[in-house]
Structure 1
């Protein structure tokens, strides 16, 4: 049985052998944001950036700061940013009352705990694609997992940040993300500030730095 994969394009500085950023659609971004549901969202929110290990802080900030224009209408960012730990309902009584002095007929305790009434779950619209972000947008994911909508200005800013003067050293590498690659990403996101580089540019013993191997192409601008 074939394994479902997601395509991801990496822009690599061949001189330093470092991923500058990745270009992807909604499915990879949804996967990355879903890492916050493991659940590490609460831990990330409570820690300062200085205390954070790896790049989950950037991933958290990216979702928190992403404009609602790019978020699916049926998605709620707080489900990842401020996850609620579910209660064990096995021993809960299923009675409600309007009077806080009422006695529960099941356990004989005062029914004074506040119950939150929620609206029924919205039905997805015909254009709803599921997940968290919209699919008509191309997204940029930096090596340290900052996520933003792709733009020419963002690309130029990043190239200037890494002092890239010669675009001839840039290479494009296309990879398919399956289960094994997803596990590598998860591990690197918890340990590293160069997640994409560590996950996808692992050098094997005796491997030559001369690129142009399968799936790698020089960028011509």
Structure 2
């Protein structure tokens, strides 16, 4: 069953406009993860053919496609792969998300095939610095013995807890409280919540994209 996260939309019944969404940390963590993505990952994900409405980011999509179709004299084929499929330095944190849209495999390291060599590479099938092996063995980042707080506590970027968040239509995020909600409604010319209808929704991976 595909993963999803729950939101509660707050809709101004008079204008039929969403004024905010109320969400738990799972969804807010997903939004925060966007800031960890390299530009190459963002372009690749948002221009995917499966998306109903592909996104164009200025001329960067053209730059990405020109590299995809490039016959330039790359130093190695790996150099081209590194540019088109860059690593996310926060991948081990993103792997804890309920919906992780980064499919770059950035949480993986690759160990040398030579017994006794302890070198790790971020990319597979690379000649090892020991000059006697190739990086072929897959290892998750936390398999290499690294200590990552998010793994220890089971979360991603935000602390675990029952706190709720208010998310505005322009992606401002604040802890939910009656005071913050009143401020938000005031910005829409609303003085109370009586004209606000709540609508629960489930957000899937495609909708996150």
Higher strand share: 2
TM-score using structure 2 length: 0.47
Whose radius of gyration is greater, 1 or 2?
Answer: 1
